[in-house]
Amino acid sequence: MADNGPMLAVIGGSGFYSFFGPDARTVTPDTPYGAPSGPITIGRVGQHEVAFLPRHGVDHEYSPHTVPYRANMWALRALGVRRVFAPCAVGSLTPDLGPGSVVVPDQLVDRTAGRADTYFDSGGIHVSFADPYCPELRAIAARQPGVVDGGTMVVIQGPRFSTRAESRWYADQGFTLINMTGHPEAVLARELEMCYAAIALVTDLDAGVESGSGVRAVDVFAEFRRNMEPFKKLVHEALDQVPGERTCRHCLAHDGVKLPFELP
């Protein structure tokens, strides 16, 4: 397909396992990195053809540290995707952002370990990542009603939740959101020259927040379910406002660089 990327994508996080009805077509691509998390369904939103991939699998088979991130992003790129919205569940590190808040972060801090986080194990390739999210997709998501624009999301290894001391430390650094899947997904998108923006739904106050009582997975999933329909509607409306042509240059990380292999 043309490199302006006519197809968009949504990568659904915890509790966000489907996006289209039964009329959508399903593809199951393979990649040099194995199979993606699950079948990719393709439907239409307004003028756009949109691919949907459940990050954790259709039945939440993958924990954050076992998600096949490289396969997921490669499969989407190979389908013709060049622009990605990435809804995710997050904890809040400040009482100003309570459960149900929707935030479009503008910064990311990586605290994961041992994850395969690059396609370039040879060739000396380095991508710019100072601003990890696509400014054009961020702007579209951030102007949706009720959305908070900006915030720093710290991505932890998981699958455990933070201790109170860790949570307070992150908050003291000025981080506002905590998550387990935002890295390496975002940097892999940049290596594949795909525009990428996270849309974060707050499901809980993290353990170090004074009014928080500690995080339980059952409560996170319950909060996500309570907000799922309006959250899907918000993502749908953001997709509908994406221009037909991709004009972003920010996410073209390899301008003037000779790569050791061709991108799909």
3-state SS record for 98-143: CCCCEEECCEEEEECCCCCCCCCCCCCCCCCCCCCCCHHHHHHHHC
User: Rounded to an integer, what distance in angstroms lies between the CA atom of residue 208 and that of residue 93?
Assistant: 7
Average pLDDT, whole number, for the chain? Answer: 90
DSSP assignment of 56-105: TTTTT---TTT--HHHHHHHHHHHTEEEEEEEEEEEESSTTS-TT-EEE-
Q: 204 an active-site residue?
A: yes
User: Rounded to an integer, what distance in angstroms lies between the CA atom of residue 155 and that of residue 110?
Assistant: 5
pLDDT of res. 215: 58
Binding residues, by number, are 14, 55-56, 180-181, 204-206
Binding residues for phosphate, by number, are 14, 55-56, 181
What would the pLDDT profile of 177-216 be if each residue is shown by its tens digit? 999 999 999 999 999 999 999 999 998 887 666 555 555 6
What would the pLDDT profile of 228-251 be if each residue is shown by its tens digit? 789 889 999 999 999 999 999 999
With bands split at pLDDT 50, 70 and 90, how would you rate the model's confidence at 2? very low
Looking at the DSSP bridge assignments, the partners of residue 50 are 8, 43
User: Rounded to an integer, what distance in angstroms lies between the CA atom of residue 254 and that of residue 248?
Assistant: 13
Radius of gyration of the chain (CA): 17
User: Is the predicted pLDDT of residue 68 greater than 70, yes or no?
Assistant: yes
Domain 6-239 annotated CATH 3.40.50.1580: yes
Ordered by start, the domain boundaries in the chain are 6-239
What would the pLDDT profile of 90-136 be if each residue is shown by its tens digit? 999 999 998 899 999 999 999 999 999 999 998 889 999 999 999 99
Q: Taking the model in full, what pTM does it have?
A: 0.92
pLDDT of res. 204: 84
Rounded percentage of the chain residues whose pLDDT exceeds 70 = 91
Look-up of token digits 């993290």 = 206
20-29, 62-71, 162-171: least confidently modelled range? 20-29
Copy the structure tokens of residue 131.
Answer: 């601003």
From the candidates 204, 219, 240, 255, give the one annotated as an active-site residue: 204
> How do strand 152-156 and strand 107-111 relate by DSSP bridges?
parallel
Helix 182-191 with 69-79: angle, nearest 10 deg: 40
Could you tell me which residues come within 8 angstroms of residue 140 by beta carbon, excluding any fewer than 6 positions away?
197, 238, 241, 242
Could you tell me which residues come within 8 angstroms of residue 35 by beta carbon, excluding any fewer than 6 positions away?
28, 29, 68, 71
- The SS3 call for residue 216 is coil
Is the previous residue joined to 39 through a cis bond, with omega within 30 degrees of 0? no
13-17, 86-90, 147-151, 206-210: least confidently modelled range? 206-210
